[in-house]
Structure 1
Amino acid sequence: MKNFLKIALISFPILTTFTAQANVFAPLVENFKGSYLFCVNEKNTYKWKWAAKNENFNNKYKGIKKITTHSEEWTWLKGSPSLNKHFNIVLDIKHEFQSMNEAKEFCEELKNICTSQYGDDYSLVGVSSYAVPGWGLVSVRYPTPVVETESTAQNDYASETEPLLGYEVENIKSKTSSCPNWNYKEFPNAGGAKYDVERMITDRLFSQKK
């Protein structure tokens, strides 16, 4: 029941997305595929501020369509709503980075946006609005480290994903982690996207129509 309630919490924006049947709604649908970045004070996580637009960040990642930010006054990240293994809401950045270090560098870029605007204490990041109601984490993808054997990865994958088998984001070739936040301050961590919420909702919709 607890898990179902958390899934239901984020159903509304997703259902709104799926109501767009015609091409005329495409721009509106695209707006729901992302959230605004905000900065959190590491010494007092009740203190937070929206991250203003950063031209250096925009210019660096504008060539990657799955990360592209809006040209407005706030920092916008593209992605889809997912759940991590603790069923916290996360924004899943669909782009897969080439390595864990590259994914970590992206998270550092987000951190730098915050610290450059609000000081070193604002070193934690999150997202909110549109795809992620409430406070959500930023989830990044990267290849499974080569030091991990395939058999070990397969066993971990099977055991950790059993509760929602069929909706997993991770697999034996790809890992996820959340950018440092109020729950997970180190990188890598266990806060990355685990379950695809969009797939859950669409499956539920189609099953009800049958």
Structure 2
Amino acid sequence: MTVKVLLLEDEELVRGGVRMILESAEDIEVVAEAPDGSQAVELVDRYRPDVVLTDIQMPKVDGIEVTRLLARRTAVVVLTTFDVDEYVYAALRHGAAGFLLKDTPPRELVAAVRVVARGDAMISPRITKRLLSSFTAGGAMDKAQSKLAALTPREREVAILIGRGLSNAEIAKELFLSESTVKVHIGHIKAKLDASNRTQVAILVHDGGLV
């Protein structure tokens, strides 16, 4: 199966380099590209990409707004030189399935696109620890715990393992379940928590103090 990618990046040289890296993989195709997010919705409707790879700082419509507009329709990965906490957290809060820095090695970038296309999340290791220890104010904890209370005991177990960064296969092994059953649980969890992807589930789990 070919992974279709929409690439949004205002610097033409960078955009060309990223496209070359992605298309060096036989199973990835850049179906469309643009210098900003002003046409993002139209391009997603036209090309139905599996992954949208977007920069943060772009003219007209930036990567945060792109994420807000598209995260419930397709997987969005932010690729940027800026690892500022506010950018990271805003992107993930709006539903980004991944946040990568532009110094990510080519092989890891290709792997990240594949991972996100499968429905998993990918965050640059350099910022993961800092991200998960930040923005845990009491109000956020109370709100997260209120949402998490809607989960069944089994769904809560699955959500905690998502928060620990386990893949579907690892969760299945940990809980002695099939991967298909894990996927069903994750679907229910996302619906109950009003989360567009597992990254948002992980943030709620951390905000709620479960991990």
| Smaller-chain TM-score bracket | under 0.3
- RCO comparison, higher one (Cα < 8 Å, 6+): 1
Higher strand share: 1
